[in-house]
Amino acid sequence: MPPSKSTATSSDGTRLAIYTYGESGAPVLVCVHGIKLYRANVVPRLLRPAPRRTGVPVLTVSPDADPFVTTPLQTGIEAWAPNLTVKVIRGGHWMPRNDPGLVAGLVRDHTRKVARWET
């Protein structure tokens, strides 16, 4: 189910987008402070990524309807993580918050596979 969107104005006049997700209808505010956090930390690293590699198994859980952190952005990392497993799932940007059990199950299954634990 896609989120519904409405808007609000904070006490300091900042326009906020309010997205309502899932069956619970819990509102999630996406505001200026979050955008500033992304701009300060994510954008510079995307424009000038440091050459870092890892040999450990990496699991990427990518919601297919995330307009901010797209699947290609999350999964085109084989140069840095050659032992990569990608799980594309239905959901949006807040999918880990809305369905933590799904994420936990994927991590559990990945860990079992990597550690060769019996199921």
Mark whether 99 and 58 lie in a shared domain: yes
Mark whether 66 and 107 lie in a shared domain: yes
Mark whether 41 and 87 lie in a shared domain: no
Does 13 have pLDDT greater than 90? no
Mark whether 88 and 68 lie in a shared domain: yes
What's the first-to-final CA gap in the chain, in angstroms?
32
**pLDDT at residue 44, as a whole number:** 79
CA proximity to 18, closest of 26, 10, 27, 9: 27
Mark whether 12 and 36 lie in a shared domain: yes
Over the stretch 20-55, which tens digit does the pLDDT of each residue have?
Answer: 655 555 555 545 556 677 777 777 777 887 788 899
Mark whether 82 and 24 lie in a shared domain: no
Over the stretch 58-107, which tens digit does the pLDDT of each residue have?
Answer: 999 999 998 888 888 888 788 889 999 999 999 998 888 889 999 999 99
Mark whether 65 and 116 lie in a shared domain: yes
**3 state DSSP class of 86:** strand
Mark whether 41 and 70 lie in a shared domain: no
Mark whether 46 and 82 lie in a shared domain: no
Backbone φ, ψ for residue 49 (5° rounding) = -70, 140
**Are the C-beta atoms of 59 and 107 separated by less than 8 Å?**
yes
**pLDDT at residue 78, as a whole number:** 85
Spatial distance between the Cα atoms of 53 and 104, rounded to a whole number of angstroms: 25
**Structural domain of residue 11, as residue ranges?**
1-50
Query: DSSP alpha helices (H): ranges in 6-99?
Result: 32-41, 43-47, 71-75, 95-98
